[in-house]
Amino acid sequence: MRQCLTSDLGGYYTSNAPSEKDQFGAKGDFVTSPEISQIFGELIGVWVVAEWIAQGRKSEGVYLMEMGPGRGTLMDDMLRTTRNFPALAKALEAVYLVEASPRLRETQHKLLCGDNETKENSIGFESTSKHSPDLKIVWTEDIRFVPREGNKTPFIIAHEFFDALPIHVFQSVPPSPQDSDGTIQTPTGPILGTRRKMPKENQWRELVVGPKPPHRLDDGEAEFELSMSRAGTPHSMYLPETSGRYQALKATDGATIEISPESQAYARDFAVRLGGSNRDTPPSPTSPDATVGGKAVPSAPKEDPVVKDEPSGAALLMDYGPANTIPANSLRGIKQHQMVSPFLSAGSTDISADVDFLGLAESAINASPGVEVHGPVDQARFLTAMGIEERAAQLVKRAVDRERAGSTGQDKKELTEIVKRIETGWKRLVDRSPQGMGKLYQVMAILPYKPTAHGEQRRRPVGKKKKDFDTDGTRTHNLCQTSYRKATPYH
């Protein structure tokens, strides 16, 4: 997925070939919510404003960060909204855009900065907002370049970003003779094992992408296919053991799970920015993290812990995926608004997979003692609670009033068109039928966690109803709840 989507050599998002068209819109491959209606970005802006107010209106050190901003429409609509709150606009010190595509970076620049100059900086590029010379817009390819400072308040938005991150797929199979010696399959060949006995319980096998053999390759068909690895792989021995949610399925023959370690790393990063690092796990730069096939695997470089006296900020994750189950068989290709094989025309087909919301929630909670997670709730519920219908009515009224005042020079037909666009747009976003986006898309928030004093009511984030989460003041770990919290109390 990584190669097909973001490789420098002809990735779907990163290709510079002049023949490559815009991915978005009716002529492209897909349409996203911010492109359907301006109200979407406005309501996300209102959500950020509401969180900023609820957290005491910080007067400095606030930044916005968007992951994979596409054409920049969502951020543009958000900034137009937040500008109506001058104290927040003043507190905003930068907007960080994490974007892998140079071409989309240019599109975003045009929309957000107009003709303002772009210059290179130490983490990528920067310019200034078309609305204010005081607001820096910064582009970087990797979130790890954006400084993590304990005195900052980040508001992080990820819309249709996580579904583009690579997944690993595993299937549980009964023990077989291939497992008997513990051989591990790696991309460069097998590592022979030393085990003597056949394991008694089911094993996880990775489903890997490989080229289709020429005799099975028909014209116009996908050149790659998914097949089950003959032996364990380093990933199959490690990733499915990282959560009780996966372990619980190991004994079920044929159980299939998709895990996206890269997505989990982003969720951990967001959590640490909001709530600070765990205090009880100091980095150990010298010891290896794991052994595979009897060999020590060196750990990734350790990151500096973030010390945060007071958790602050918020992250809003909006994507396509099941609300409370582990995704399975969800890898798909999208071309010209149709579902196609993900293995067709690598690099010119969009590929995506369902997002494992509870997996992200678990990663965030485990990464920081200062965060809690709300939701996911479906997009219809979230946008309705945020006032989508009221905002649409306001836009319609404004268009009608303007036409009546004769200030627009529009004729009746144009007005009818505008009203129709507003109405069909917002309704599509909250439509719960299979054609709409209201039920398929989920919204989940990571927020600062603060223990409540005895008898004190817990604060609820805007856009979430009371029954969306309990109010007992602990971070309880219950996968069946819509609200996901861990059993250990905050200390």
Tell me if 327 contacts ligand SAH by CB under 6 A.
no
Phi and psi at residue 86, in whole multiples of 5°? -55, -35
When the beta carbons of 85 and 162 are compared against ligand SAH, the nearer one is: 162
When the beta carbons of 182 and 333 are compared against ligand SAH, the nearer one is: 333
Q: Of the candidates 62, 104, 249, 444, which one interacts with ligand SAH according to CB under 6 A?
A: 104
Query: Using an 8 Å Cβ cutoff, are 316 and 443 in contact?
Result: yes
Distance of closest approach, residue 99 Cβ to ligand SAH, in angstroms:
5
When the beta carbons of 68 and 473 are compared against ligand SAH, the nearer one is: 68
Residue 316 neighbours by CB under 8 Å, 6+ apart: 44, 47, 48, 156, 157, 158, 443, 444, 445
Distance of closest approach, residue 320 Cβ to ligand SAH, in angstroms:
11
Footprint of ligand SAH on 32-71 (CB under 6 A): 32, 34-35, 68-70
Tell me if 100 contacts ligand SAH by CB under 6 A.
yes
User: Strand order of the sheet with strand 92-98?
Assistant: 119-120, 124-128, 136-140, 92-98, 62-67, 153-159, 314-320, 441-448, 371-378
When the beta carbons of 68 and 124 are compared against ligand SAH, the nearer one is: 68
Residue 201, classified by CB atoms within 10 Å of its CB into exposed (0-12), middle (13-18) or buried (19+), is exposed
Residue 21 neighbours by CB under 8 Å, 6+ apart: 27, 28
Tokens 């819509």, located at residue: 482
Q: Of the candidates 38, 81, 101, 107, which one interacts with ligand SAH according to CB under 6 A?
A: 101
Count of chain residues binding ligand SAH (CB under 6 A): 19
Tell me if 334 contacts ligand SAH by CB under 6 A.
no
Give the number of other Cβ atoms within 10 Å of residue 406's Cβ.
Answer: 8
Residue nearest to ligand SAH (CB): 68
Distance of closest approach, residue 241 Cβ to ligand SAH, in angstroms:
25
Query: Using an 8 Å Cβ cutoff, are 382 and 443 in contact?
Result: yes
Tell me if 376 contacts ligand SAH by CB under 6 A.
no
Tokens 């820096």, located at residue: 136
Give the number of other Cβ atoms within 10 Å of residue 306's Cβ.
Answer: 20
H or E element: which one contains 403?
helix 388-404
When the beta carbons of 159 and 486 are compared against ligand SAH, the nearer one is: 159
Give the number of other Cβ atoms within 10 Å of residue 80's Cβ.
Answer: 14
Distance of closest approach, residue 67 Cβ to ligand SAH, in angstroms:
7
Binding mask 156-175 for ligand SAH (x = CB under 6 A): ---xxx--x-----------
Query: Using an 8 Å Cβ cutoff, are 269 and 365 in contact?
Result: no
Binding mask 121-160 for ligand SAH (x = CB under 6 A): --------------------------------------xx
Tell me if 99 contacts ligand SAH by CB under 6 A.
yes
User: Strand order of the sheet with strand 338-340?
Assistant: 338-340, 332-335, 350-352
Footprint of ligand SAH on 401-460 (CB under 6 A): none
Pairing relationship of beta strands 153-159 and 62-67 according to DSSP bridges: parallel
Distance of closest approach, residue 109 Cβ to ligand SAH, in angstroms:
13
Distance of closest approach, residue 10 Cβ to ligand SAH, in angstroms:
14
Longest dimension (CA), the chain: 87
Give the three-class secondary structure for 204.
strand
Binding mask 453-472 for ligand SAH (x = CB under 6 A): --------------------
Give residues in contact with ligand SAH (CB under 6 A). 5-6, 13, 32, 34-35, 68-70, 74, 98-101, 104, 159-161, 164
